[in-house]
Amino acid sequence: MCGIVGYTGNHQAAPILLDGLSRLEYRGYDSAGLAVRNGEALAEVVKATGKLYHLADKTDQGRSLIGTCGIGHTRWATHGDPSVTNAHPHVSGNCSGSGSGSVESDVVGVHNGIIENFAELKEKLLRHGYRFYSDTDTEVAVKLVDYYYKKYRIGPIDALTRTMVRVRGSYALALMFKDYPGEIFVARKDSPLIIGTAEDAAYLASDVPAILKYTRHVYYIDNLQAARIAPGSVKFYDLNGDEVSLPLTEITWDAAAAEKGGYEHFMLKEIHEQPTAVRDTLNSLLKDGQIDLSAAGLTDETIRSLTQIDIVACGSAWHVGMAAQYVLEDLVKIPVRVELASEFRYRSIPMAENTLVIVISQSGETADSLAALRVAKERGALTLAVVNVVGSTIAREADHVLYTLAGPEIAVATTKAYSAQLIAMDALAVQMAFARGAISPEQYGHFQEELSLIPDKIRRVLEDKERLQWFSSKIVNSHDIFFIGRGLDYAISLEGSLKMKEISYIHSEAYAAGELKHGTISLIENNTLVIGVLTQSQLFEKTVSNMVECRSRGAYLMGITTNGNFAVEDSVNFTVYVPRTDEHFISSLAVIPLQLLAYYTSVNRGLDVDKPRNLAKSVTVE
Ligand code: M6R
């Protein structure tokens, strides 16, 4: 959600800012804007609604905005509708228009996050003579900084830290002050922000891909810290305004990892990167032929002490938790509860002693997952984060971190990060089972062998993609699609359904197959597509029966099963086979055809596959 970029150096800022914003488009946005200043001159603000090219057109690809210091923003509307007036940057001056042009203003800024007490702060500022042109909480934040700056005649950092103490909510704020040409000031709490340095320049961004073309040296600014950025110099401050030092990190992944690399869409590229993402993640957890969780700090002794596992996450990461639940219960024989982070955070679930709370998140910044992690810690649980983005807030705040090595994921619909999370959770389950004596050394060896074969088997499923492309052209006009399965197959159905609806905009639902008769079957009409996941031998016949019940009410059936289950063709209209593996780990294979089906359906409907409407890659607000 919302993307922020900033640059100060010797080059013209606007083209760099536009380029950075284009690499943050995946985060989701509905308007965009730039503020650029040239030396002592006032900042020039330009904003546009819709896609980034409108802003690029308005500024002649950035060429009409002269200046070597600037900030840029893509906005995902929270307070106020998507309009030029509400788009960022916002200014402290009492201007009457939309806050754009060469506005007489002491402070101009961009923001990602939500200021929860903005109404109360706005009242206060109105009493002090401030006037507002937009409906945003950001304009309030910028004006509050201006208020402290002038009232106490203090420097930008002190004005920022006073503001940080006063506001509630989340923010990554980047501000330029009229009196400080060539400098950008930032503050952060619970919203992502990184700062990059180079010899004669400095950058800031919501995510690494925005600045990777220019520098590989970044700082991960901490919560409740501020920074002062000038060409070639970055200084950090705590809430007291005292200078603090932060470690400089070198980004090791290749810039090409965040490019399309010849694929039509990021999603298709990321689907094809799954064998590598899964292999890399698995290899990072193997040492001397054993699964080794020491990098995550989980000793066998800790694992043996656990009495309960709670998994909390959102969206697809929650589906990984649902799948992992079946595997953990069956292998580790430990009670497992899976909760949506947005629910968990507001429930008073009694926390058993020695509970491990696992938070799964690709971005490591999802607001609800972060809040759930904090609640779990407050309640005394041990916490483990399964996270893809290195240095993200969830990774930093959890007691232990297990990194997935999927690399940067750009498409809003997750694929390779989901698969990397699945394999990480499967490996975790196998190691936990072994450490607790729930499986024999022979079984341990067998499970490891099966896990190591998964990447190649995913590759084989991908080779069969043309059939799914063809099938997608048949179902492209569907109104409703139902995904059904039992046990692990239900968890896979959940993910298949979410993939389909989020990028094709076709209504879809996932049901535990046994639940159909309790209401949903009344929705089945002639030609309603029902997709059954049939990988669990014990549950196979039961789900087939449920599918046949749908067929007798007019449904058109697709089945996903493992090689050799050819009898299914007697019952369904279209079958997809995936290679056999130990049934605990089948999600990694069965999900691939569902990802491909969703992808091709979105393409066939002419939709924006990588950036579906209303969605953001990283949901950093509640
Ligand atoms: O970054 P996270 O893994 O915490 O994100 C969680 C969900 O927002 C995410 O999985 C979302 O559901 C995806 N768009 C699904 O494709």
Q: Cβ(172) to ligand 1 under 6 A?
A: no
Instruction: Calculate how far, in angstroms, residue 321's C-alpha sits from the geometric centre of ligand 1.
Output: 12
Alpha carbon of 361 to ligand 1 centroid (Å): 7
State pLDDT tens for residues 245-300: 999 999 887 777 778 888 999 999 999 999 999 999 999 999 888 899 988 989 99
**Residue 150 clears pLDDT 80, i.e. is over it:** yes
**Cα–ligand 1 centroid distance for 411 (angstroms):** 11
Structure tokens at 25: 């488009």
CA of 550: how far to CAs of 520, 532, 539, in Å? 10, 11, 17
Nearest CA to ligand 1 atom 4: 361
At residue 105, the pLDDT reads 86
Is 362 touching ligand 1 by the criterion CB < 6 Å? yes
Q: Is the CB of 412 under 6 A from ligand 1?
A: yes
**Confidence (pTM):** 0.83
Residue 594 has pLDDT above 80, yes or no: yes
Rg (CA), the chain: 26
Using a 6 Å cutoff on CB, does residue 472 contact ligand 1? no
- Residues 6+ away with beta carbon under 8 Å from 313: 320, 321, 340, 341, 359, 360, 361, 366, 369
**pLDDT at site 287:** 86
Q: CA 273 to CA 268: how far, in whole Å?
A: 9
Q: What is the mean pLDDT of residues 101-108?
A: 84
Active site residues: 2, 617
- For ligand 1, whether the C-beta of 404 sits within 6 Å is no
Average pLDDT for 360-373: 95
Ligand 1 lined by 581 (C-beta under 6 Å)? no
Q: Does ligand 1 have an atom closer than 6 angstroms to the CB of 12?
A: no
- Take residue 236 and report the two structure tokens written for it: 């950090």
- How much is the pLDDT for 617? 85
pLDDT tens, position by position, 204-240: 999 998 999 999 999 999 999 999 999 999 999 999 9
**C-alpha span between 356 and 366 (Å, rounded):** 20
Nearest alpha carbon, ligand 1 atom 11: 315
Distance 206 CA to ligand 1 centre (A): 17
**Could you tell me if 316 and 409 are in contact, meaning their C-beta atoms sit under 8 angstroms apart?**
no
pLDDT of residue 349: 85
Asked if 426 contacts 324 with a C-beta cutoff of 8 angstroms, the reply is: yes
Q: How many Å lie between the centroid of ligand 1 and the Cα of residue 517?
A: 30
pLDDT beyond 80 at 99: no
In angstroms, the CA 89 to CA 70 distance is 10
Question: Would you say the CB of residue 387 lies under 6 angstroms from ligand 1?
Answer: no
Q: What is the pLDDT of residue 254?
A: 73
Q: What is the pLDDT of residue 304?
A: 97
Q: What is the mean pLDDT of residues 182-201?
A: 95
Most confident by average pLDDT, 36-40, 455-459, 617-621 = 455-459
Task: Supply the mean pLDDT for the chain.
Answer: 94
Phi/psi at 85 (5° precision): -60, -40
615 burial via Cβ count (<10 Å: 0-12, 13-18, 19+)? middle
- Res. 101 pLDDT band, cuts 50 70 90: confident
Question: 10 C-alpha vs ligand 1 centroid, how far in Å?
Answer: 38
Nearest CA to ligand 1 atom 9: 315
Q: Ligand 1, residue 389: give the atom nearest the CA.
A: 1
Question: Ligand 1, residues 270, 363, 501: which to mutate, most atoms within 8 A of Cβ?
Answer: 363
Does 497 sit in the ligand 1 pocket, CB within 6 Å?
A: no
- Ligand 1 neighbourhood includes 618 CB (under 6 angstroms): yes
Given pLDDT bands bounded at 50, 70 and 90, which one contains residue 47?
very high
Segment (H or E) for 453: helix 441-463
CA of 208 to the centre of ligand 1 (A): 18
Which of 319, 594, 614, 619 has most ligand 1 atoms within 8 Å of its beta carbon, as the pocket-test mutant? 619
Please tell me the least confidently modeled range out of 95-99, 120-124, 240-244, 301-305.
95-99
The average pLDDT across 567-582 equals 95
CA-to-CA distance for 516 and 528, rounded, in angstroms? 14
Q: How far is the CA of 125 from the centre of ligand 1 (A)?
A: 37
Q: Does residue 2 carry a pLDDT above 90?
A: no
Q: Structural domains in the chain? A: 3-251 (3.60.20.10), 266-462 (3.40.50.10490), 465-604 (3.40.50.10490)
Please indicate whether residue 192, judged by its CB atom, sits closer than 6 Å to ligand 1: no
Residue 400: what pLDDT?
A: 97
Q: Is 361 in the pocket of ligand 1 (CB under 6 A)?
A: yes
Please report the atom of ligand 1 found closest to the CA of residue 615: 14
* pLDDT confidence tier of residue 619, bands split at 50, 70 and 90: confident
Residue type, 243: E
Residue 27 has pLDDT above 90, yes or no: no
Compute the distance from residue 409 Cα to the ligand 1 centre, in Å. 11
**Closest ligand 1 atom, CA of 394?**
4
Q: Whose Cα sits closest to atom 10 in ligand 1? A: 316
